[in-house]
Chains A and B, each alone.
Chain A
């Protein structure tokens, strides 16, 4: 087996371990940290079903962002929906036979690559053109955009300009999943694409990409507005009541 194949195999094992382990650690931290007070941004749903609907609207429609700024919403939504399609399309490299829904979206997924890069371009342009957004942008904000754009362009490059041997790529990936290494084509565009994806997986749990799991734990969005009808108390706050059964001092 070539050095290159082994290198990329280990790269992806490491990236997957970091991504899964890092997200697990972060999500566990969020889940274990109590929310001692009721702080939903009101008006808020007064039932759990209502909260599920609010959260669903938030993650599928970006409801709050839509209220806030139509340009950011447009570019952000375009990017995220395209990314979703592109990712689903890539499932064909991980499944044999390819799942039917994944088969169905292939044509859309192909062009979603352009929409994704366009969305990223819009978001990036704001970092230069809007003085307020320019002020708050850090080098890492630009680098993450650059990374995503480079992933998108290298992928599009393989679809539309310099095709790679996708049959071999698929054999490599399917093999990777069962620890049975198959040769990876030594195609420069492919290697760039894969390296950048691995980098994205590495930085996911240590960067602002944590907004993805974070939103589900955001107390202003996931709490039910029922504080008068239900007593909500965190374990550390309940301890303050020990020995304070009657009047306070």
Chain B
């Protein structure tokens, strides 16, 4: 790790609310997207000539399409309830990272152009004309928000800054100001089918290699089928699971669970990505286009169920939006939805989270574990923000908190939750979600991780926790990179199904000369 060019916060044992420091993170800006990157996802670039009118027109368009934005622009009373809730504010002390101030960046322009008070009494209500400087300020601060929705839990009107950030980013994209990281990946997904730009043959090779690794380690021929027509289950997982560490350990875990359950499952080359960065930039067209790949693959392969791997915002899109966008779900009564929904098995939720899938098998007693294989670990669980506050698992509210923990407790002996005010619906984002997971934003990523690192540090010290269990590809990538700044080893970071993979007992087929060895090599 190179020496950071910024001051890494020191851990104090408490999550402190800092005194505000104006412009403390005004200099943090991610690399802008080139014109080519912008064009690939349907946006212009660089800044268009009539940016002012186009931006205001887009704002009007979004206000008419999204009730959330319209209500959120009007309803805020500046009460201050959200001011100490954002991890980026807690980590940077920059007041524009307070949710209300982040919203005000847009609200001030909204007032000027769309309200009576702002048109005639601008200084009284803090209304501002849209200028190029304001667009640049938007670019800074709307890319210092991870759309984690923590503020929306605490707002008395439920104002969700994520909705405002998405609208801000979409307006910026519309006038030619995009972010390289998000938009480049979006383009790759549209062209190739996954965020990593991994073509079909490479994927096939990778999966074959993993099958061999599992066989060498366990003596069990666990398969990772690709494009298998007639399979019952289509697994949609973040492409990072195919070869990033520690993500791949969870993929091995899913495969072992499918193997033990004896189900016919498959991956798809054309829908080899659960992640949907269209959400990050609030672009309905892009979210929909990305999600349609899953519909197409499900129809083509004729599957009865769609299961989603460990990924936070992807699960939000899958759980909350897929039925709307693509008809992956139940209860649709229009021809578009029925075409897919009459193929899907109504006995299972669509889509289903891999944790729900594994949990159901555990409850049915269909999986065998040796928990002691995880005895070298003391595990804590980080609730991923978009799973916690933008989705659900199971059939009761809050199942998204219970089910992953129950899966963990079924496979490990030592589990310890972090402080209550930092988990469940109050969970802190990892600091890398929503389009922030890029090296050019490392300062904000490290500082934004501060509240989570405080809570983690406390259980490391008090309860000897040595494993941070995750269900999100971004959380995994972010923490792997960021925990060393706070003095932890990156091997402490891993997935829930990595733990499952370690403890699961598979039947070794007769005639296999391999010795039974259930524990896969550690990362």
Interface residues of A (CB under 8 A from B): 26, 29-30, 33-39, 41-46, 50, 58, 62, 64-65, 67-69, 72, 76, 123, 126, 130-133, 135-141, 143, 203, 206-208, 210-211, 214-215, 217-221, 225, 227-234, 236-238, 240-241, 244-248
Tell which of A41, A130, A229, A247 touches B330, judged by Cβ atoms closer than 8 Å.
A229
Tell which of A30, A68, A207 touches B67, judged by Cβ atoms closer than 8 Å.
A30
Excluding A39-B390, A68-B82, 5 further A-B contacts by CB distance (< 8 Å) are A35-B67, A38-B320, A207-B117, A217-B67, A241-B336
Name the distance in Å between B58's Cβ and chain A's nearest Cβ.
Answer: 15
Contacts A42-B390, A227-B324, A248-B289 known; A67 to B153 CB distance under 8 Å? yes
Could you tell me the distance between the alpha carbons of A229 and B146 in the complex, rounded to whole angstroms?
28
Task: Scan residues 202-258 of chain B and give those whose CB is less than 8 A from a CB of chain A.
Answer: none
Interface residues of B (CB under 8 A from A): 17, 19-20, 63-68, 70-72, 74-85, 95, 98, 100-101, 104, 115-117, 121, 123-126, 149, 152-160, 163, 284, 288-289, 292-293, 295-296, 299-300, 319-321, 323-324, 327, 329-337, 339, 349-351, 388-392, 395-398, 400-401, 425
Could you tell me the distance between the alpha carbons of A220 and B330 in the complex, rounded to whole angstroms?
22
Tell which of A68, A135, A217, A231 touches B333, judged by Cβ atoms closer than 8 Å.
A231
Contacts A39-B320, A42-B388 known; A132 to B116 CB distance under 8 Å? no
Contacts A220-B158, A237-B284 known; A138 to B71 CB distance under 8 Å? no
**Residues on B with beta carbons closer than 8 Å to the beta carbon of A39:** 68, 160, 163, 320, 390
Could you tell me the distance between the alpha carbons of A41 and B386 in the complex, rounded to whole angstroms?
10
Could you tell me the distance between the alpha carbons of A175 and B425 in the complex, rounded to whole angstroms?
54
Q: Are A140 and B126 in contact (CB under 8 A)?
A: yes
Q: Of all chain A residues, which has the CB nearest B104?
A: A136
Name the distance in Å between B330's Cβ and chain A's nearest Cβ.
Answer: 6
Q: Are B67 and A225 in contact (CB under 8 A)?
A: no
Contacts A69-B81, A211-B77 known; A33 to B67 CB distance under 8 Å? yes
Contacts A131-B20, A136-B104 known; A41 to B284 CB distance under 8 Å? no
Q: Of all chain A residues, which has the CB nearest B103?
A: A136
Q: Are A42 and B71 in contact (CB under 8 A)?
A: no
Q: Are A126 and B126 in contact (CB under 8 A)?
A: no
Q: Which 5 residue pairs of A and B lie closest in terms of their CB atoms, listed nearest first?
A: A214-B75, A68-B154, A231-B332, A220-B158, A43-B397
Q: Are B85 and A68 in contact (CB under 8 A)?
A: yes
Could you tell me the distance between the alpha carbons of A229 and B157 in the complex, rounded to whole angstroms?
26
Q: Are A208 and B75 in contact (CB under 8 A)?
A: yes
What are 26 A-B pairs at a CB distance below 8 A? A29-B70, A33-B66, A35-B67, A35-B68, A42-B400, A43-B398, A50-B397, A76-B79, A135-B98, A137-B78, A140-B126, A143-B124, A210-B75, A214-B157, A218-B71, A220-B159, A221-B157, A225-B397, A227-B324, A231-B324, A231-B331, A233-B324, A236-B65, A237-B324, A248-B295, A248-B296
Q: Are A139 and B124 in contact (CB under 8 A)?
A: yes
Q: Are A131 and B68 in contact (CB under 8 A)?
A: no
Contacts A36-B66, A206-B117 known; A132 to B98 CB distance under 8 Å? yes
Q: Of all chain B residues, which has the CB nearest A65?
A: B156
**Residues on A with beta carbons closer than 8 Å to the beta carbon of B80:** 69, 72, 126, 130, 132-133, 136
**Residues on B with beta carbons closer than 8 Å to the beta carbon of A143:** 124
**Residues on B with beta carbons closer than 8 Å to the beta carbon of A62:** 156
Q: Of all chain A residues, which has the CB nearest B279?
A: A37
Q: Are A206 and B68 in contact (CB under 8 A)?
A: no
Q: Of all chain B residues, which has the CB nearest A34?
A: B67
Q: Of all chain A residues, which has the CB nearest B390?
A: A42
Could you tell me the distance between the alpha carbons of A133 and B98 in the complex, rounded to whole angstroms?
10
Name the distance in Å between A120's Cβ and chain B's nearest Cβ.
Answer: 13
Name the distance in Å between A210's Cβ and chain B's nearest Cβ.
Answer: 4
Q: Are A41 and B397 in contact (CB under 8 A)?
A: no
Q: Of all chain A residues, which has the CB nearest B350?
A: A228
Q: Are A138 and B157 in contact (CB under 8 A)?
A: no
**Residues on B with beta carbons closer than 8 Å to the beta carbon of A210:** 74-75
Q: Are B79 and A46 in contact (CB under 8 A)?
A: no
Name the distance in Å between A25's Cβ and chain B's nearest Cβ.
Answer: 11
Could you tell me the distance between the alpha carbons of A64 and B149 in the complex, rounded to whole angstroms?
13
Q: Are B153 and A64 in contact (CB under 8 A)?
A: yes
Could you tell me the distance between the alpha carbons of A133 and B330 in the complex, rounded to whole angstroms?
45
Tell which of A123, A132, A208, A241 touches B20, judged by Cβ atoms closer than 8 Å.
A132
Name the distance in Å between A77's Cβ and chain B's nearest Cβ.
Answer: 10
Contacts A34-B65, A136-B80, A221-B158 known; A228 to B100 CB distance under 8 Å? no
**Residues on A with beta carbons closer than 8 Å to the beta carbon of B123:** 139
Q: Are A135 and B392 in contact (CB under 8 A)?
A: no
Q: Are A33 and B70 in contact (CB under 8 A)?
A: yes
Name the distance in Å between B269's Cβ and chain A's nearest Cβ.
Answer: 15
- Most chain B CB inside 10 Å of its own CB: which residue of A217, A236, A238: A217
Q: Of all chain B residues, which has the CB nearest A55?
A: B158
Q: Are B75 and A64 in contact (CB under 8 A)?
A: no
Q: Are B336 and A33 in contact (CB under 8 A)?
A: no
Q: Are B324 and A232 in contact (CB under 8 A)?
A: yes
Name the distance in Å between B397's Cβ and chain A's nearest Cβ.
Answer: 4
Contacts A43-B425, A244-B336 known; A220 to B324 CB distance under 8 Å? no
